[in-house]
Amino acid sequence: MPTLQVLHYDAFSSEPNMGNPAGVVLDADHLSEKAMQSIARSVGFNETVFVLKSSHVDYRLRYFTPGHEINLCGHATMASMYCLKTRGFIDASQSAVTIETNVGILPITFNYINNELMVTMKQDHPQFVPFQGSAKKLAESLGLLEEEIDPTMPIVYGSTGTWTLLVPIKNLESFSRMKSNNDMFPEILVENPRSSVHPFGLETIKQEALMHARHFSSPYSGTIEDAITGTASGVMGAYYLTYLDQETTNIEFIVEQGTEVHKDGQVLVNVSREQDRIDVYISGTGVYVRKLDVEYIS
């Protein structure tokens, strides 16, 4: 079988082997969709991103879990953009690029905070769909009791490019006891059986964070849990303006995630409302970890 070099970057952390790992494949235009899927399966991370040429913007990105292609991935976008910028593919004087994804054209900006490169990506416009299933079974699939779900906030499917089910949790201590049974998800998520599940709460470990979260994968993706989730964090920002504070027009806050899987990371979320439109941005840093030589089926 042929061998390809994949770059392992961690997103939403500046410390190697923390944050959320992503495989980054540069100059991927020669690879077929079958090959991309095979590479992602061999890498085994929640997502591997393939950087391709675009005929009308700076780059085209495609994202694959070990099980299937997804339309958008926040942490893999962060990883690939951090990679391109720090390796000099994007000029040091260039503060913005535009990427083509399956959800459309999205802007990326770069800035430095305390000499650390921060990548900001705009996400797709948020969508929400009510959850009509059993909260009791949903709690059970997370290893919790129904009473641990916060009834003061709605359970909804949300998307800024990738669908996830937002599940509000009352207390921080519930997160450390979660043990997901991902195979149960499709029969519970009747409106969207391929959705992931994203429990979150307003109690946090770190004082500077507003929300705490975990993220459990769709069983179709071939993974169990995502350490720090960019797209779901963006959805949480839109959720805040839509359901928790309908008067505020702009909010910026930190989502902490990954503590329970020893992958501490954080996502900076910025959302703004103008009439019926909500714009969602997430920011984070990254770090290079290592090179992987991966065999794949072409």
Please provide residue 229's backbone torsions phi and psi, each rounded to the nearest 5 degrees. Answer: -115, 115
With CA atoms as reference, report the closest residue to 13 among 265, 297, 270, 280.
265
The Cα 288–Cα 270 span in angstroms is 25
Residue 271, token pair as written in the block: 């959302």
Name the catalytic one among 15, 33, 47, 260. 47
The Cα 12–Cα 4 span in angstroms is 25
Q: Which contiguous run of DSSP H or E holds residue 104?
A: strand 104-113
The residues, ordered by sequence, that sit 6+ positions from 23 with a Cβ below 8 Å of its Cβ are 6, 7, 8, 39, 40, 43, 45, 47, 48, 49, 292, 294
The Cα 298–Cα 281 span in angstroms is 36
Residue 75, token pair as written in the block: 């942490």
Q: For residue 47, indicate whether it is catalytic.
A: yes
CB atoms within 10 A of CB 232: 31
The residues, ordered by sequence, that sit 6+ positions from 182 with a Cβ below 8 Å of its Cβ are 141, 216, 217, 218, 219, 224
Residue 8, token pair as written in the block: 């392992």
With CA atoms as reference, report the closest residue to 14 among 117, 108, 96, 88.
117
Give me the active site residues, please: 47
